Every structure is written in C-alpha cells, then in structure tokens.
C-alpha cells in the first residue's frame, strides 16, 4: 500500500488530536497493508515480535480509537470475532464458509434499494451492508482434491 495512504491516515489522527504512538502507527500500517480483514488477535500476533510489551488489550484499544475517528471499520460476521477493514469506502464482502476468508468486491452502490426500503417502511436509512457467502477457490481446490 502506498505511503501516501498511511500519511493521510496519520494526518487524520493528528487532526483528531489522537497521539500517534509507535504501536498505533504499527496497527494502522498493518491494516493498510492487509487484504485479509484481520482479527485483533491476528494483528497482535503479527506485531508482537516488534512490540514484545504490547498486549492484546493495547491492540483492541488502538482499533477502537481508529474506528471512532473513521479510519477503520469493524466487521462482525457469524464467527463471533470482529474483523477490521481499513477500506472505509462503500464496498461489499464475500465470505468463505470453509476458511472464513473475507474478500472485498465493488459494485455500484445500491441507492435504489435504500430508497425503496425508505418508501416501503417509512424508515430513514442510514446505511446498508451486503454480504455474500460461498466457498473460495482455494477451498474448492482442497475439496476437489480430497474427493479424488
């Protein structure tokens, strides 16, 4: 991921009055370069070698701060552990039912669905989330290989 994206995120932290600790910088950098939507535990395991005194609680606290200022999205799915995504633009997710991998995909926003939902229900829609479920290519290959 480009250094520009990290620098923009750091500028956002500064503008929000959030102190940029080495651990916070590392968590943000890891998320910006991660395409797998990691859990807090996965982030902790990836960074513990560089920060031996850092706890899982520190990772959770940093993720909370990053979420509150809008740099990170917390994704809650069926496996009951939150995953974190630095891509806060409108996009959707497809989730593997075998290995729990989450992949981003983009599609024009479903504004018509939100508008229809408002008309039918009288709700004022604030946002929506689209999740698709299936089996990823790697898991399909494993399944095919074990059938032979």
Nearest to 43 by CA among 57, 58, 27, 29: 27
Q: How many residues appear in the chain?
A: 148
CATH of the domain at 44: 1.10.10.10
User: What pLDDT sits at residue 1?
Assistant: 46
Assess whether 61 and 94 both reside in one domain.
Answer: no
Q: For the chain, what is the mean pLDDT?
A: 89
Asked if residue 111 has pLDDT above 90, the reply is no
Assess whether 41 and 71 both reside in one domain.
Answer: yes
Cβ of 29: how many Cβ atoms within 10 Å? 18
User: What total of structural domains would you count in the chain?
Assistant: 2
Assess whether 78 and 112 both reside in one domain.
Answer: no
CATH of the domain at 111: 3.30.1490.190
Cα–Cα distance list, 62 to 8, 25, 112, 137 (Å): 17, 9, 36, 33
Distance of CA 72 to the CA centre of its chain: 7
Last residue of a domain, one of 65, 88, 111: 88
Assess whether 15 and 69 both reside in one domain.
Answer: yes
Does 134 or 79 have the greater pLDDT score? Answer: 134
pTM above 0.85, yes or no: no
User: What pLDDT sits at residue 78?
Assistant: 62
Assess whether 48 and 68 both reside in one domain.
Answer: yes
Domain of 133? 89-148
Grade residue 136 by pLDDT with cuts at 50, 70 and 90.
Answer: very high
Cα–Cα distance list, 43 to 28, 122, 127 (Å): 10, 41, 27
CA distance 119 to 112: 10
Assess whether 42 and 25 both reside in one domain.
Answer: yes
Report whether 67 contacts 86 (CB < 8 A): no
Average pLDDT over residues 82-111: 85
Assess whether 76 and 137 both reside in one domain.
Answer: no
Least confident of 26-35, 61-70, 73-82, 112-121: 73-82
Cα–Cα distance list, 9 to 32, 62, 74, 90, 92 (Å): 9, 14, 17, 18, 22
Average pLDDT over residues 43-60: 94
């Amino acid at each position: 991921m480009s250094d520009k994206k990290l620098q923009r995120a750091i500028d956002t932290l500064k503008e929000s009055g959030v102190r940029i600790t080495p651990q916070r910088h590392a968590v943000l950098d890891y998320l910006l370069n991660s395409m797998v939507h990691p859990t807090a535990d996965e982030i902790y395991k990836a960074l513990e070698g560089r920060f031996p005194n850092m706890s899982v609680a520190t990772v959770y606290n940093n993720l909370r701060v990053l979420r509150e200022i809008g740099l990170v999205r917390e994704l809650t799915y069926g496996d009951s552990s939150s995953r974190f995504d630095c891509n806060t633009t409108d996009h959707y997710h497809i989730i593997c039912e075998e290995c729990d991998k989450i992949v981003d995909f983009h599609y024009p926003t479903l504004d018509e669905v939100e508008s229809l939902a408002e008309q039918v229900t009288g709700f004022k829609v604030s946002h929506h989330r689209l999740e698709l479920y299936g089996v990823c290519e790697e898991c399909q290959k494993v399944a095919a290989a074990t059938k032979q």
